């Protein structure tokens, strides 16, 4: 594992902020896409487009991968955790629970990632990182509860959300362990796994409804769905996954995890400006607490 220095932290921080910004904006396009078709249809097209775009970039020589002599097992493990198991857990969990419940569960990802890093990688976080991440967690929970406090009491939903939280934490850890691969190589295998799994699931779902033709033609006949797919496929998959993998490689799981709450702040701002959603003082307080937590977790670079 490479030594973390000031340059690595700076580059990793910029990558993490960019990644979380893209994820925060993706909620708008997720809503737009799922208003037009099923979740599996959106996921299937999203990862298929992402895989095609990344493959094209490799073919024309804009990006490069070299897997010769490298075992694919670590990358397959990363891909199993994210996107496959993570998106299954997140999608099914959100569909069975309320928005506030799912938000609280997913807000726990930085804390669980911290625990996984300590347990598996034997990397003890600094007191500053722990405090910062816990403050961020409080800010996210305050924000999502301010948006609504409905409860579903769905055991199945909670189980799927726990699956999402756990698999994202394991993805973060195993990305850091995959030091033999570049961020592009990791991202490409993740996109390939997502395209294969979710395209098959989308086709099975469509076949069960007798709507395979509708699924295949959907981006060509529905402009809003196409917009959602292009943003999710290129912005939230190709670019965001690469930035996430790069950030973890540059500065590790613990620091990268501290930035996750930024997507909540971005999604709030986007919801207000684009979707015209209501905003209240508790959400503003939550956003301020999130930013404070990120700042505390990263303000001092200890070599």
For residues 132 and 102, the model is more confident at: 132
Residues 6+ apart with CB under 8 A from 299: 128
Answer whether the bond into residue 261 is a cis peptide, omega within 30°. no
173-207 pLDDT, tens digit each: 998 888 888 889 999 999 999 999 999 999 999 99
What value does the mean pLDDT take over residues 45-62?
95
Nearest to 89 by CA among 148, 167, 27: 167
Q: Whole-angstrom Cα distance, residue 92 to residue 186? A: 25
Helix (H) or strand (E) holding 67: none
For residues 39 and 98, the model is more confident at: 39
Buried b (16+ CB within 10 A) or exposed e, 41-78: bbbbbbbbbbbebbeebeeeeebebeeeeeeeebbeeb
Binning pLDDT at 50, 70 and 90, where does residue 106 land?
confident
Buried b (16+ CB within 10 A) or exposed e, 254-266: bbbbbbbbbbbbb
What value does the mean pLDDT take over residues 57-74?
89
- Global pTM exceeds 0.95: no
Longest dimension (CA), the chain: 59
Residues 6+ apart with CB under 8 A from 122: none
pLDDT given for residue 4 in this prediction: 62
For residues 211 and 249, the model is more confident at: 211
Mean pLDDT for all residues in the chain? 86
pLDDT given for residue 153 in this prediction: 74
Instruction: Tokens for 222, please give them.
Output: 């529905």
pLDDT given for residue 152 in this prediction: 63
Q: Whole-angstrom Cα distance, residue 133 to residue 194? A: 29
Binning pLDDT at 50, 70 and 90, where does residue 1 land?
very low
């Amino acid at each position: 594992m490479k030594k973390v220095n000031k340059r690595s932290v700076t580059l990793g921080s910029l990558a993490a902020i960019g990644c979380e910004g893209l994820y925060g904006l993706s909620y708008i396009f997720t809503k737009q896409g799922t208003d037009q078709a099923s979740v599996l249809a959106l996921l299937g097209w999203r990862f298929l487009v992402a895989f095609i775009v990344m493959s094209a970039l490799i073919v024309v020589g804009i990006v490069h991968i070299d897997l010769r002599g490298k075992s694919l097992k670590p990358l397959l493990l990363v891909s199993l955790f994210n996107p496959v198991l993570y998106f299954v857990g997140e999608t099914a969990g959100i569909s069975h629970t309320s928005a506030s419940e799912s938000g609280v569960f997913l807000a726990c990802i930085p804390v669980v990632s911290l625990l996984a890093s300590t347990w598996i990688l034997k990397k003890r976080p600094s007191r500053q990182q722990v405090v910062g991440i816990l403050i961020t967690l409080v800010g996210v929970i305050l924000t999502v509860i301010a948006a609504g406090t409905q409860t579903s009491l769905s055991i199945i939903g909670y189980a799927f959300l726990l699956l999402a939280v756990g698999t994202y934490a394991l993805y973060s850890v195993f990305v850091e362990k995959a030091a033999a691969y570049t961020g592009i190589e990791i991202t490409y295998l993740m996109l390939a796994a997502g395209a294969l799994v979710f395209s098959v699931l989308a086709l099975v779902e469509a076949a069960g409804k007798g709507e395979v033709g509708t699924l295949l033609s959907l981006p060509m006949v529905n402009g809003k769905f196409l917009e959602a797919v292009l943003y999710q496929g290129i912005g939230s998959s190709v670019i965001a996954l690469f930035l996430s993998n790069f950030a973890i490689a540059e500065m590790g799981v613990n620091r990268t995890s501290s930035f996750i709450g930024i997507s909540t702040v971005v999604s709030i701002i986007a919801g207000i400006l684009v979707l015209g959603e209501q905003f209240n003082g508790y959400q503003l307080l939550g956003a301020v607490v999130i930013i404070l937590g990120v700042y505390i977790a990263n303000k001092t670079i200890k070599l």
